[in-house]
Structure 1
């Protein structure tokens, strides 16, 4: 069975598809058949305006950043790809700076002039 986060990643605040459908049905009953077409048209305009704003912001970023905008690997910057367990595991596997010196390194012995 898929979890709600799995098939509905775009919705946040704990809202799932089922909860949104219940809210929509309640809203339809509260609005009524007389005002439903007007509210539907208004909702459509809102969605269209949001898409236009997002597209405009993307175009403006592309204009301001120039060719660098297309060179950015957006998949690499996605925070959802980071797994804290993997990051910790890799950090623990890396040799630390306090580990024993390699055989290629030489120890420097400094004698005190005061003894």
Structure 2
């Protein structure tokens, strides 16, 4: 949980004993226990409320698939392309790919500088 190992928890406990003192430590430990219980109750309440509002579809949801750590844009695009149009993927695979040297050059025109005393362009709808 939160990347805490047993050694780190032990060090935090020893520091708490020294900083808080043995008189106040039981009081703060009880407060921490109440906080953890209230957070757990809130999470369970939210889950129960979600189950009530979503109905039977709540159990059908694949929560691991919705995990943001599983987000891979390349995989999502690949799945979208293969599911929607498999013939487009095969056509794209059959087409020859352009190498960096064979790509057409893009020409960009430079804006012309303003003449002396010429006002700058102004867009009244942009403000």
Contact kept? 2:51, 2:58, Cα under 8 Å:
yes
* Residue aligning to 2:98: none
Aligned Cα root-mean-square deviation (Å): 3.0
* Residue aligning to 2:13: 24
Residue deviations 1:18-56, cap 9 Å, x none?
333212210121111111111111111101101110011
Task: Give 1:100 deviation, angstroms.
Answer: 2.9
Q: Which runs of 5+ in 1 are unaligned?
A: 1-9, 102-115
Alignment of 1:1-115 (within 5 A): 10-11=1-2, 15-17=3-5, 18-80=7-69, 87=75, 95-100=89-94
SS state at 1:73 partner: coil
Assess, with a 3 A threshold, how the Cα gap between structure 1 residues 25 and 49 changes in structure 2: closer, same or farther.
same
SS state at 2:94 partner: coil
Normalised by the length of structure 2, the TM-score is 0.52
Q: Which runs of 5+ in 2 are unaligned?
A: 83-88, 96-127
Q: Distance in 1 between matches of 2:19 and 2:61?
A: 47
Higher-RCO chain (CA-CA 8 Å, sequence separation at least 6): 1
Residue deviations 1:90-112, cap 9 Å, x none?
78xx75542338xxxxxxxxxxx
Q: Distance in 2 between matches of 1:38 and 1:31?
A: 10
